[in-house]
Amino acid sequence: MRALQLAFLLCSLPSLLALKTQDWKTCPQSAFCRRGRALAARATEAGSSWKSPYSVDPASVAIVPNEASFSAAVTSSIYPDIKFQLDLYVLQDGVVRVRMDEVDGLRKRYDETASWALIADPKVSSEVKWTVGKKDVRAVYGDLSVVVQFAPLKVALLRNNQEEIVLNGGGLLHMEHFRTKRQPPPLDDGDSDQEVLEVEKNLAAWFEGEEDMWWEETFKSWTDSKPKGKYLNMFNRSLYINYDTGPESLSIDIDFPHHGHLYGIPQHATLLDLPTTSGADPVYDEPYRLYNADVFEYLASSPMSLYGSIPLLYAHSATGATVGVFHVVGSETWIDVAHPSKDASHTHWVSESGILDTFLLPGPSPAAVAAQYARLTGTPALPAHWALGYHQCRWNYVSSDDVRGVQRRFDKEDIPVDVFWLDIEYAEEHKYFIWDKKTFPDPVDMINDVEAIGRKMVVIIDPHLKRASNYPIYKEASDIDVLVKKPDGEGEFEGWCWTGSSSWVDFFNPKSWGWWKTLFKTTPSAGGKYSWVDSTENVGIWNDMNEPSIFNGPEITMQKDAVHYGGWEHRDVHNINGMLFSNQTWQALYERSDPPKRPFVLTRSFFAGSQRFGAMWTGDNLGTWEHMDVGLKMVLANNLGGMSFSGADVGGFFGNPEPEMLIRWYQLGAFFPFFRAHAHIDTKRREPYLLDEPYKSMLRDIIRLRYKLLPVWYTAFRETSVTGSPVLRPQFFVFPGDERGASIDDQFYVGSSGLLVKPVTIKGATETTVYLSDKQVSNVECIYPAAF
């Protein structure tokens, strides 16, 4: 029994694999990632002789009067006819924004990511002044300075004249420009067979080598037509058509010469202190991928992409200094991580499309970096008090009577619970908003029964709409033309999800916003529009499958050549897509009542800025000790990325955990900001009251402890809603000057309460070790919860 009684230590301190990996691409299978890594390999091979081809035209430097910004023309020695523009800004809090875009290109690159991620246009300083020299432009403010070297182009942020962040120091900047597809060499009827073979050999070299999948790309059975680079009948020698086209990937190296630890870029199932992917003896042979995907039963240690993407990176030094970068790109991105030395870090970011728009966050502390990021993208929304309690969910509670029965059992066993959840089976044929009246004949009465004793319900609403004429939600969306389009821009995109044949609302289309809000009204809408009268003003919403998950799509998601509002391809906005869904749902709930109530929205897919719209969880995890352990590391990384209201499915979504594992998972989950038990439809029922003694009493006491500490949790959420500092804080965040604690990710602090939590995630453990920094005071009080 001792192994189960040792739950964790609460220390009062002063304030301070069943995964089908082949369903998702590797870097070698992604043409632009392959090209980006090849560029890095050539630079490494060339050594000191490698120089970036990009340079600033000194004569073009234009200082903006009365503010700390300037613009300049940039050219590439490889493509001298292609023009770029560089814009630099020093913001009022010392953050530096670097933007570069192609000028007068054949097509416009996607440049709207920042408009979705940022809360407003950042305020540019009016105090900082630029000095233009023969070799560079520089600005000095306090102990910070920014230097933009002309040839080759390099941007560096310095503190006390020491480089802290360097862009393009290794010369890997490369913005693939749009171009007109080249004509093949002409063929005459009189050409010899040898001449024909030579021409075809050259063609193969163009399209398989130098022109590596510029115009079309295949993965398994899917073909990405790349309409921006579409061509017709490549080997029909009589019919070649030029298109204004070409690849558009963006590559940039970002170095931290004096910072040996890197954290962030969630979401990945890995250590908090990011393992290497390049350089000498890398831990992983693949880069970290940011590409929102429905990776169920994901590996417990991998750089593979998962459900969300936040391109924010913290770099931390042995002296405690911390800086960060926020790389505002919404397309698929791969990131290599290396440590050239113990105290230095190198990163290489390769994105499929978009412009260079990167914020350099000068810190100098972890809390300062978090605050700088929060001023850009917003702080987490302050949740309703009830949302901080215990949530009970499974796929699925199958009827109104089932929900009422679960509630009665919780009350009979005197186990606290605040929220009951309904998964997809409540909806008739998975037509969201429409109750299956065979199993849920009285939804409002059921909800009222739950709410009558101060509890709440959360109901799932997924983004796919069943393509059926008798489904009013789909019919209205189709009638007002707010659905994602096919690659040719005509007709509705069609895919397969829980509802069968489905279409997806295009939340980039402003016409969808007001319409979506009407759906959540609990009183009849005017003009015959649908409203959810079978609901109440207190029901929370669960937005799942919003990567988007498409069962018959490439990598189980939407094809990249589908078209969104404004003519943008899905490739440009993929990682932003899920955030817009939860954003509009949050807005709908906020306007559902008068006066407004704090909405509760849970999302699976997320991007930078998603913290403004509620909670997230780590997706379809496994009921294994490894997943329990990595879930903590993922929640810590998500907190650093601004997603403080985060958690992992307690008990694991898949599988049937043994009692010891389930107890340990509740002990951990009770100290996640979002505390929810959830399970797959094929698992055994495992509500806390179903366990035999003594396990049932253990779970009761664990959940009660959560409720005893609600003032601590609410205070921590209030703090993060103001400062941006995470609710869960890793060791380095609280004690940045302690190098020995820099990589610790198996214990954490709750806000600034001084509450240190050390969970046990190892089977059969009878003891554990808590790390206390030398900088912590000696009068530490540790509580051994004997009831566990």
CA distance 448 to 463: 26
* Statement: residue 605 has pLDDT above 90: yes
- Per-residue pLDDT, averaged over 653-666, amounts to 98
pLDDT in tens, 130-185: 999 999 999 999 999 999 999 999 999 999 999 999 999 999 999 998 877 765 44
Would you place residue 200 in the very low, low, confident or very high pLDDT band (cuts 50, 70, 90)?
very low
Phi and psi at 557, nearest 5°, equal -150, -170
**Active site annotation includes 534:** no
pLDDT at 566: 95
Delimit the CATH 3.20.20.80 region(s) of the chain: 385-751
Q: Which of 164, 547, 555, 649 is catalytic?
A: 547
CA distance 298 to 308: 13
User: Which are the contacts of 584, defined by CB distance < 8 A and separation ≥ 6?
Assistant: 507, 512, 513, 516, 517
Delimit the CATH 2.60.40.1760 region(s) of the chain: 22-176+248-364
**Active site annotation includes 620:** yes
Pick from 629, 640, 646, 644: nearest CA to 747: 629
Q: Which of 255, 297, 544, 629 is catalytic?
A: 544
pLDDT in tens, 395-438: 999 999 999 999 999 999 999 999 999 999 999 999 999 999 99
pLDDT at 238: 39
pLDDT in tens, 288-312: 999 999 999 999 999 999 999 999 9
How close are the terminal C-alpha atoms of the chain, in Å? 9
Residue 34, exposed/middle/buried by CB under 10 A (0-12, 13-18, 19+)? Answer: middle
- Per-residue pLDDT, averaged over 707-725, amounts to 98
- Per-residue pLDDT, averaged over 739-749, amounts to 98
CA distance 632 to 399: 33
Q: Which of 620, 738, 745, 746 is catalytic?
A: 620
**Active site annotation includes 436:** no
**Considering only 81-95, 192-206, 319-333, 471-485, which range has the smallest mean pLDDT?**
192-206
- Per-residue pLDDT, averaged over 16-34, amounts to 82
Tokens 């820099």 -> residue: 742
Helix (H) or strand (E) holding 167: strand 162-167
Residue 23, exposed/middle/buried by CB under 10 A (0-12, 13-18, 19+)? Answer: middle
Going 502 to 506 to 512 to 516, the CA torsion angle's sign is positive
Tokens 């051994």 -> residue: 784
Helix (H) or strand (E) holding 622: none
pLDDT at 21: 82
Superfamily of 385-751 according to CATH: Glycosidases (3.20.20.80)
pLDDT in tens, 523-545: 998 888 999 999 999 999 999 99
Hey, which CATH number is domain 22-176+248-364, 3.30.540.10, 1.10.260.40, 2.60.40.1760, 2.20.28.120? 2.60.40.1760
CA distance 619 to 603: 10
Q: Is pTM, for the whole model, over 0.85? A: yes
Pick from 581, 578, 559, 579: nearest CA to 570: 559
Q: What percent of the chain is predicted at pLDDT more than 90?
A: 86
Mean pLDDT of the chain: 91
